[in-house]
C-alpha cells in the first residue's frame, strides 16, 4: 500500500515545471504541499497514519479539491482501517466531480455501512456518466501530427488548428473539413504551435509558439518562444512578438485588439495592448506553478493553473488572488475561454473524468458561484491515450480539440508511440 500512495500522489501533486522549481527560493503553496507530501509518505512508512492524514489535510487546504491528495487520504484511511475517514475521502471526491474506483476500500466500508458505501459508489460512478452532446465536424488524419489548438473565423466558418509536431497552422474550409491546408508553418518561424485565436476586429490569426521536447528542430536550429500574428486572409506573417526571459508562450485570449498570454514555464502572464505594441509582463507571482488557458470575465483576467486552480488578475492594480472554488474540482484545467455572456469555458484534462464545463463567478469575481458540465464521456474524448485540450467559443457554439494525442508523444521527441487515430474536432451548442 505504501507503493500505491507513492505512485498515486506525486504525478499530479508535484506538477511544478523544472524551470519554476529550479529558480524557486520562496515558500509557496506548491512548495509547502510538496514538503507535506514527502512528510506524509515518511509518516506512512512509520505507520503513523494520523500524522499522514493531518499532513494531507493541510496540503488539501493549499490545493483545494486536488484529486491526488484526496486519493491519498483514501489510501491512508485504508491503511489505518478507518472507515469514517475512507467515507469522507470518497464523499469529497464525489462532491468535487472526480472519478475514482472505490473497489480497494469496498470491504472496509461495506462492513461499516453498506448503504453509505453504495451511495458514494453510485455518486462516483455518476461523475463519469456521459453528459451533453457534440457534433464531429472534422477528423484530421495526419500521421505524426499532435494537434493542440483550434480557432474559428465565425464570418467565413473557416477553422484553424495548430500542430505541435508539425510546426504549422492548418486551415479547414467549411466545404472540406477533413482536407487540411497549410496556413503557416516553420518557414514563417514557427516552432511548435499551441493556442490559436481569430481577432475579428483586427482580422488577425494569433498563435502561441515555442520549442519544447516534442518540437522537431533542424540540425543547428535554436528554439525560442513568441506570439505570432498572421493576416487572416492571406496568411502572411504580420509580426512576431518576443519578450526577454519568456520560455513557453502557449495560451492566450484576445479582446478588442488586446492580447493576454500565459507562459506556462516562466511562469508569467503578458499583455499586448495593440498589434503595433510590445509584449509586457502583466503579472509574475511566485505562487504560479503551471499556467495554462486565459479568459476575461467580470473585469478581470482569469488564468488556469494546472496544479492550483484558477488565478484572478485584477486589470487595474494587477493584484493576484486564487479563485475560491465551488463543488467541482478546478485542478487540471487546460483550455480556458470566455463567452460573450460572461461565462468561463474550461477544459479539464488533468483530472478524471475529462470534461468541458462552464464556470459562473460570483458578483465580485473572486469565487465560483456554480459550474455546469457541458460535455463529458463523448466517444472522441474517452481514449486512454488522448485528451481534450483547447476550446474556442463563438456565436453560441464552441469548437473543441477532443482527443489530442499527448500521451503518445514522449518527451524524448521520438513519438508517436503506437497507431494514432485521426484528431477529432467537436462542435458544441452552448446553453
Q: Say what the pLDDT of residue 11 is.
A: 34
Which of 259, 236, 390, 307 minimizes the C-alpha distance to 16?
A: 307
Give the cell for residue 134: 457534440
Q: Supply φ then ψ for residue 370, to 5 degrees.
A: -165, 160
User: What is the pLDDT averaged over residues 138-144?
Assistant: 93
Separation of alpha carbons 409 and 208, rounded Å: 20
Give the cell for residue 21: 522549481
Task: Report the predicted TM-score, pTM, of the whole model to 2 decimal places.
Answer: 0.94
Q: Say what the pLDDT of residue 384 is.
A: 84
Separation of alpha carbons 374 and 343, rounded Å: 12
Separation of alpha carbons 107 and 105, rounded Å: 6
Residues 6 or more apart whose Cβ sits within 8 Å of residue 402:
134, 378, 380, 381, 386, 388, 423, 424, 425, 426
Indicate if the pLDDT at residue 412 is higher than 90.
no
Q: Say what the pLDDT of residue 383 is.
A: 83
Give the cell for residue 150: 483550434
Mean pLDDT value across the chain: 92
Q: Say what the pLDDT of residue 376 is.
A: 98
Separation of alpha carbons 270 and 249, rounded Å: 9
Separation of alpha carbons 265 and 291, rounded Å: 8
From residue 210, give the alpha-carbon distance in Å to each of 73, 241, 252, 421. Answer: 38, 12, 13, 25
Separation of alpha carbons 96 and 371, rounded Å: 11
Indicate if the pLDDT at residue 415 is higher than 90.
no
Split at pLDDT 50, 70, 90, the class of 221 is: very high
Indicate if the pLDDT at residue 17 is higher than 60.
no
| Cβ-based burial of 337 (10 A; exposed 0-12, middle 13-18, buried ≥19) | buried
For residues 376 and 356, the answer to whether their CB atoms sit within 8 Å is yes
Q: Give the residues across from 206 on adjacent strands.
A: 197, 229
For residues 243 and 216, the answer to whether their CB atoms sit within 8 Å is no
Indicate if the pLDDT at residue 234 is higher than 90.
yes
DSSP SS3 for 165: coil
Q: Say what the pLDDT of residue 25 is.
A: 63
User: What is the pLDDT averaged over residues 180-187?
Assistant: 98
List pLDDT tens digits, range 198-209.
Answer: 998 899 999 999
H or E element that contains 260: strand 258-263
Indicate if the pLDDT at residue 353 is higher than 50.
yes
Which of 356, 417, 405 minimizes the C-alpha distance to 97?
A: 356
Q: Say what the pLDDT of residue 8 is.
A: 43
Q: Say what the pLDDT of residue 256 is.
A: 87
Amino acid at each position: 500500500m505504501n507503493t500505491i500512495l507513492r505512485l498515486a500522489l506525486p504525478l499530479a501533486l508535484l506538477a511544478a515545471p523544472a524551470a519554476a522549481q529550479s529558480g524557486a527560493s520562496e515558500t509557496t503553496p506548491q512548495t509547502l504541499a510538496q514538503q507535506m507530501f514527502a512528510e506524509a509518505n515518511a509518516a506512512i512508512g512509520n505507520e503513523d497514519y494520523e500524522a499522514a492524514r493531518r499532513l494531507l489535510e493541510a496540503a488539501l487546504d493549499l490545493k483545494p479539491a486536488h484529486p491526488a491528495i484526496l486519493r491519498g487520504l483514501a489510501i491512508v484511511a485504508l491503511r489505518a482501517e478507518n472507515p469514517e475517514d475512507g467515507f469522507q475521502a470518497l464523499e469529497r471526491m464525489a462532491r468535487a466531480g472526480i472519478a475514482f474506483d472505490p473497489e480497494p476500500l469496498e470491504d472496509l466500508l461495506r462492513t461499516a455501512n453498506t448503504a453509505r458505501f453504495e451511495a458514494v459508489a453510485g455518486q462516483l460512478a455518476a461523475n463519469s456518466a456521459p453528459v451533453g452532446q457534440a457534433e464531429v465536424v472534422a477528423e484530421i488524419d495526419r500521421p505524426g501530427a499532435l494537434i493542440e489548438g483550434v480557432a474559428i473565423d465565425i464570418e467565413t466558418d473557416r477553422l484553424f488548428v495548430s500542430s505541435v509536431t508539425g510546426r504549422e497552422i492548418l486551415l479547414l474550409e467549411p466545404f472540406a473539413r477533413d482536407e487540411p491546408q497549410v496556413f503557416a508553418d516553420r518557414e514563417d518561424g514557427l516552432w511548435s504551435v499551441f493556442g490559436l485565436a481569430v481577432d475579428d476586429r483586427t482580422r488577425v490569426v494569433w498563435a502561441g509558439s515555442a520549442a519544447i521536447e516534442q518540437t522537431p528542430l533542424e540540425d543547428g536550429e535554436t528554439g525560442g518562444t513568441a506570439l505570432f500574428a498572421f493576416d487572416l486572409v492571406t496568411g502572411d506573417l504580420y509580426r512576431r512578438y518576443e519578450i526577454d526571459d519568456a520560455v513557453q508562450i502557449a495560451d492566450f485570449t484576445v479582446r478588442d485588439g488586446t492580447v493576454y498570454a500565459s507562459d506556462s514555464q516562466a511562469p508569467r502572464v503578458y499583455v499586448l495592448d495593440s498589434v503595433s505594441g510590445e509584449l509586457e509582463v502583466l503579472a509574475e507571482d511566485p505562487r504560479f506553478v503551471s499556467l495554462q488557458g486565459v479568459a476575461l470575465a467580470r473585469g478581470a483576467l482569469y488564468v488556469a493553473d494546472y496544479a492550483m486552480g484558477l488565478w484572478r488578475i485584477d486589470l487595474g492594480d494587477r493584484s493576484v488572488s486564487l479563485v475560491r472554488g465551488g463543488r467541482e474540482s478546478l485542478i487540471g484545467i487546460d483550455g480556458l475561454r470566455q463567452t460573450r455572456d460572461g461565462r468561463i469555458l474550461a477544459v479539464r484534462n488533468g483530472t478524471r473524468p475529462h470534461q468541458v464545463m462552464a464556470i459562473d463567478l460570483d458578483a465580485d469575481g473572486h469565487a465560483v458561484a456554480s459550474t455546469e458540465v457541458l460535455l463529458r464521456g463523448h466517444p472522441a474524448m474517452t481514449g486512454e491515450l488522448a485528451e481534450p485540450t483547447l476550446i474556442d467559443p463563438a456565436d453560441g457554439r464552441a469548437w473543441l480539440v477532443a482527443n489530442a494525442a499527448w500521451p503518445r508523444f514522449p518527451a524524448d521527441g521520438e513519438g508517436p508511440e503506437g497507431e494514432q487515430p485521426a484528431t477529432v474536432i467537436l462542435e458544441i451548442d452552448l446553453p
